[in-house]
C-alpha cells in the first residue's frame, strides 16, 4: 500500500465538475507534481488533500488511515500557500512556531525547533522580523519552514513560486527540492509551469479540465506523451498535419513532400493525421543518412540567448519550429530564404485519434 492514496476522487461544485476520477498512489518520500493550466482541477485536488474541500466521491488515505472527511486541523499535512499566508501580526519566529504552539509544546522546545528550521531555509537571523519587512522569496521560505515545523507527514505546495521573479524562482525551487530530499518528506507540488514540474518531480500528474491526462516520470511525460494535450502542454511542440500515402510503411506527405515515420500509422491512405515533433529533433540541412528531408522558407528567426529558434514554413499553414544552439560562428539564415530541414524517422509521434486543433496547439506552442 502506498503512503498517500487518492482513489476515485471527484469534486462537483453544483453543476460544475472540477475534478473527475482522480487516482494517485504516491510513495513515501516521493515528489509528485500536479501540472496543468488554470482551472484544470489541480489546486482543488490539493485542497482536498489538505481538507479545505471535501470530495464529492472517493477516498483519501494517508499512511493507511482514511482522512477523507477529517477536518483540516487534524490532518498533519503541511501546506505552503501561493500567497504565503504568513500571519502579519507575528514575527517570523512566531509564525514558524505556530504549529507547535497550538499543539501545546513547551516553549524551549519550540524555540529550538524554530531555530533549526530557520537555519534549514537559510533565514537564521530573521526570527524577530515581521512579514512586511521581508521580500517575496524570504516570505516563501518562512512559509515553508512554518509548514515543516510540526513534522507533517505530507508537504503540500500550491504554486508557491508563481508570485516571484524568474531568477528567484529558479534558485528557490532548487532549495525546495534539496530540503525535500534531505527530509525525505512526501510532497505534492501544484504548478502550471512545466519547467518547474519537469525539473523537480519524481513523477508528474498532467491534468486538464478536471481529469488526469497522464502520470509518469518527467522523462516519460516529455518524450512519450500519450495524449495530444500532454504533448502540447509539456515543452514546445510542432504539430504537423500529414496526409497518409501508405500506412503500412509509414509513408506520409506534407505540402507535397513525402517522408517516413517509424511509428505505426493506423489511418488509411488519403486520411490526414496529426504528428507531434519536438524542435530538438529537427536540424538544419539534410542530416545523416536515412533522415527525412523537407524544404521550406524561413518565416522567423528569434535569438533567445543560448539558443536560436527558427520557424520554417513548409507550406501555407504548416510551420516547423527548430532550435539551434547559439555559437559565434553561426550564420543565421535570412527571412524568406529557401532552406532544408531534416528529422529522423523515429522523431514524430502520432497524436491521439481525437486531434488537438492545430491552431490551438500552435498558439500554445508560441
Partner 1 sequence: MRVRRRPTFAWVGVVPFFLFAIAALGLPVGFLVIGSFQNADGDLTLQNFADLSTGTIPRAFLNSIEISLVTAVGGGFFGFLLAWAVIMGGLPSWIRSAVMTFSGVASNFAGVPLALAFVFTLGNLGLVTKFLFDTFGLSLRQDLGFTLYSKTGIEIVYFYFQFPLMVLIIAPALDGLRREWREASENLGASAFQYWRHVALPILTPSILGTMILLFGNSFGAQATAFQLTGGTIEIATIAIGRQIRGDVLHNPGLGYAMAMGMVVVMSVVITAYTWLQRRSERWLRS
Report the interface residues with partner 1, using CB under 8 A.
50-52, 71-79, 81, 83-90, 98-99, 101-103, 130-132, 139, 146-147, 150
Nearer to partner 1, 42 or 75 (CB): 75
The distance of closest approach from Cβ of residue 161 to partner 1 in the complex, given in angstroms and rounded to an integer, is 16
Residue 338 DSSP class:
E
Other Cβ atoms closer than 10 A to 283: 17
| E-state strands within 173-327 | 186-191, 203-208, 211-216, 238-246, 251-254, 257-260, 272-277, 283-284, 292-303, 307-315, 318-325
Task: Taking each helix axis as running N to C, give the angle between helix 107-120 and helix 136-149, from 0 to 180 degrees, rounded to the nearest 10.
Answer: 130
CB within 8 Å of 160: residues ≥ 6 apart: 80, 81, 82, 140, 143, 144, 176, 189
Nearer to partner 1, 132 or 325 (CB): 132
For residues 48 and 58, is the Cβ–Cβ distance under 8 A? no
The distance of closest approach from Cβ of residue 114 to partner 1 in the complex, given in angstroms and rounded to an integer, is 13
The distance of closest approach from Cβ of residue 13 to partner 1 in the complex, given in angstroms and rounded to an integer, is 16
Nearer to partner 1, 53 or 323 (CB): 53
For residues 342 and 292, is the Cβ–Cβ distance under 8 A? yes
Nearer to partner 1, 142 or 273 (CB): 142
Measured in degrees and rounded to the nearest 5, phi and psi for residue 56 equal -70, -30
The distance of closest approach from Cβ of residue 56 to partner 1 in the complex, given in angstroms and rounded to an integer, is 20
For residues 337 and 284, is the Cβ–Cβ distance under 8 A? no
The distance of closest approach from Cβ of residue 44 to partner 1 in the complex, given in angstroms and rounded to an integer, is 14
The distance of closest approach from Cβ of residue 83 to partner 1 in the complex, given in angstroms and rounded to an integer, is 6
**For residue 313, what is its C-alpha cell?**
514554413
Query: How far lies 219's CA from each of 28, 201, 202, in Å?
Result: 21, 10, 10
The distance of closest approach from Cβ of residue 102 to partner 1 in the complex, given in angstroms and rounded to an integer, is 4
Nearer to partner 1, 152 or 355 (CB): 152
Nearer to partner 1, 80 or 276 (CB): 80
For residues 139 and 90, is the Cβ–Cβ distance under 8 A? no
Measured in degrees and rounded to the nearest 5, phi and psi for residue 329 equal -85, 0
Nearer to partner 1, 3 or 81 (CB): 81
Amino acid at each position: 500500500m502506498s503512503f498517500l492514496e487518492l482513489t476515485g476522487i471527484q469534486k462537483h461544485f453544483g453543476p460544475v465538475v472540477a475534478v473527475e476520477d482522480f487516482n494517485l498512489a504516491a510513495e513515501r518520500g516521493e515528489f509528485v507534481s500536479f501540472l496543468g493550466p488554470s482551472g484544470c482541477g489541480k489546486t482543488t485536488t490539493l485542497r482536498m488533500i489538505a481538507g479545505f474541500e471535501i470530495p464529492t466521491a472517493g477516498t483519501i488515505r494517508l499512511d493507511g488511515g482514511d482522512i477523507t472527511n477529517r477536518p483540516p486541523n487534524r490532518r498533519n499535512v503541511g501546506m505552503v500557500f501561493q500567497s504565503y499566508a504568513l500571519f502579519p501580526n507575528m514575527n517570523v519566529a512566531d509564525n514558524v512556531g505556530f504549529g507547535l504552539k497550538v499543539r501545546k509544546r513547551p516553549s524551549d522546545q519550540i524555540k529550538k525547533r524554530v531555530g533549526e528550521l530557520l537555519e534549514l531555509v537559510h533565514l537564521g537571523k530573521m526570527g524577530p522580523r515581521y512579514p512586511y519587512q521581508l521580500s517575496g522569496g524570504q516570505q516563501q521560505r518562512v512559509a515553508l519552514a512554518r509548514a515543516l515545523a510540526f513534522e507533517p507527514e505530507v508537504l503540500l505546495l500550491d504554486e508557491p513560486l508563481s508570485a516571484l521573479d524568474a531568477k528567484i524562482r529558479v534558485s528557490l525551487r532548487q532549495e525546495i527540492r534539496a530540503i525535500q530530499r534531505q527530509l525525505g518528506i512526501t510532497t505534492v507540488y501544484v504548478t502550471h509551469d512545466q519547467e518547474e514540474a519537469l525539473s523537480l518531480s519524481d513523477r508528474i500528474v498532467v491534468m486538464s479540465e478536471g481529469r488526469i491526462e497522464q502520470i509518469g516520470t518527467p522523462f516519460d511525460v516529455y518524450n512519450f506523451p500519450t495524449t495530444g494535450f500532454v504533448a502540447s502542454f509539456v515543452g514546445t511542440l510542432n504539430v504537423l498535419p500529414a496526409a497518409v500515402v501508405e500506412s503500412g510503411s509509414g509513408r506520409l506527405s506534407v505540402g507535397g513532400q513525402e517522408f517516413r515515420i517509424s511509428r505505426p500509422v493506423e489511418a488509411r491512405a488519403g486520411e490526414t493525421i496529426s504528428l507531434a515533433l519536438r524542435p530538438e529533433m529537427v536540424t538544419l540541412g539534410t542530416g545523416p543518412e536515412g533522415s527525412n528531408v523537407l524544404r521550406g522558407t524561413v518565416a522567423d528567426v528569434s535569438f533567445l540567448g543560448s539558443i536560436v529558434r527558427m520557424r520554417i514554413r513548409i507550406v501555407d499553414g504548416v510551420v516547423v519550429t527548430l532550435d539551434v544552439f547559439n555559437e559565434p560562428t553561426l550564420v543565421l539564415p535570412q527571412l524568406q530564404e529557401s532552406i532544408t530541414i531534416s528529422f529522423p524517422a523515429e522523431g514524430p509521434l502520432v497524436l491521439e485519434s481525437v486531434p488537438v486543433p492545430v491552431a490551438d496547439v500552435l498558439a500554445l506552442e508560441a
